[in-house]
Structures are given as C-alpha cells and as structure tokens.
A and B are shown apart, each in its own frame.
Chain A
Amino acid sequence: GAVVSQHPSWVICKSGTSVKIECRSLDFQATTMFWYRQFPKQSLMLMATSNEGSKATYEQGVEKDKFLINHASLTLSTLTVTSAHPEDSSFYICSATWTSGTYEQYFGPGTRLTVT
C-alpha cells in the first residue's frame, strides 16, 4: 500500500515552454503533498507543501509564479514549470501523506526534467 506515482518519468522541453508534472496517490487519499527538487549529487530541497483544496505554501526562495502547484483532489497534485529555462533542469520528486498519524511521507519515483 501507500503507492505514489509520477508522470512523466522524464521530459525534455525547449526553453520558454511550460511543462506539467503529475503526482498521484494510487491507493490512499493524500491530504498533503510535498514537492522536492534534487540537483545532481545533492540532497532533496523542499519546494512547497500543498494541502488539498488550499493554496500551496512555498519555501523561501522558490518562485511561486514559476512553479505552479495545484492540489485539486485528494489523489492528484500537479507541478507546472512555467517558461522553463535550462537552470530548471533537475529531478523533481513528490511525496504524499494523510491524516492518520503515520508520521511518514511516501515518495514518488521522480521526474527528470531537461530544458534545452
């Protein structure tokens, strides 16, 4: 149980275009989802926290107009990278949790974004 999927697993886009990444909880209702970014050989950095039906809370330094997060249902959150640039190339990972005291987040497999 507690499976989280991401789509796509990898994507290449041209500079200036937008790309959407989906994060789905497959067998549970995720009240909270998190979006992380991981640069090569580095740790995960939290970008934002999203609660179903609410606006996302962004970490300091993350451009909310560039990284649009929507958590419209209890099983789906999306991250849209708008007007992507090569420096946005990274590995994006989502995680999800629910309100039953499990104290842990369940991670998706990640999405590799390359902006050319």
Chain B
Amino acid sequence: AQSVTQLGSHVSVSEGALVLLRCNYSSSVPPYLFWYVQYPNQGLQLLLKYTTGATLVKGINGFEAEFKKSETSFHLTKPSAHMSDAAEYFCAVSVGYGNKLVFGAGTILRVKS
C-alpha cells in the first residue's frame, strides 16, 4: 500500500524567501508523485509530477521538486515566495497510470509581507 507524509501542517515564510514543503512517500513499487495546490473553496491544480526520467522536475509558477529514491522524498521548493503562493499544498502518490491517488494531509503555506 502507498502512503504519503507531509511534514508540517503549516509553513510560514516571508515574501521573497525560499519555500520548502516536505513530502515523504511509501510505495512497494516505483511511484508516480504529484504536487497539487488548492486555493480556498476550489479544486486542485497540478503543480508538477514525477513519473520517470529526470529526477528534478519543474512545474508551474516557479515550483520544482526532486525525486530522491534513497530518501523516499519528493520535496517541493520555490526560490522566492510570492504572496499569491499562499494556499494549501498536497503531495500525492499513485502506482501507475490512471490509478487512484493517495494524498498527504496537506501543508498550508502562509506568506508574510
């Protein structure tokens, strides 16, 4: 079975500072990994995904994440936070095409001016 652990339910950064949201996964088979962002009362928007190939993946809005198999991690980073980045972020794992996603508990990102 797959599982996802997001360390830190709330993260607060200053505008312009580095954003680091942590995600560790557990999977018995090679995982597909995703980061989604959710704004209040809205659905989820895909930020980026890792399936195969290059372990550093770049997504929208300046976000990127690195798949580290040895650490079973897929941390999300952004060099410089913007006020508009304030939202809730979900890490998710899937074991294959079209299969169901297992979500982490989510991390609420607060950006201070």
Contact = CB atoms under 8 A, between A and B. Distances in A.
B23 to A, nearest CB: 12
B100 A46 contact: yes
Contact of B46 (A93, A104, A108): A104
A97 B43 contact: no
Interface residues of B, number: 23
A109 B43 contact: yes
A104 B94 CA distance: 9
A54 interface: no
B13 interface: no
A110 B43 contact: yes
B78 interface: no
**How many A residues touch the partner, as a band?**
20 to 34
Contacts of A109: 42-43
Interface in B8-58: 32, 34, 36, 41-46, 49, 51
A95 B42 CA distance: 13
B97 A101 contact: yes
Interface of A: 4, 6, 31-32, 34, 42-44, 46, 49, 91, 93, 95, 97-99, 101-110, 112
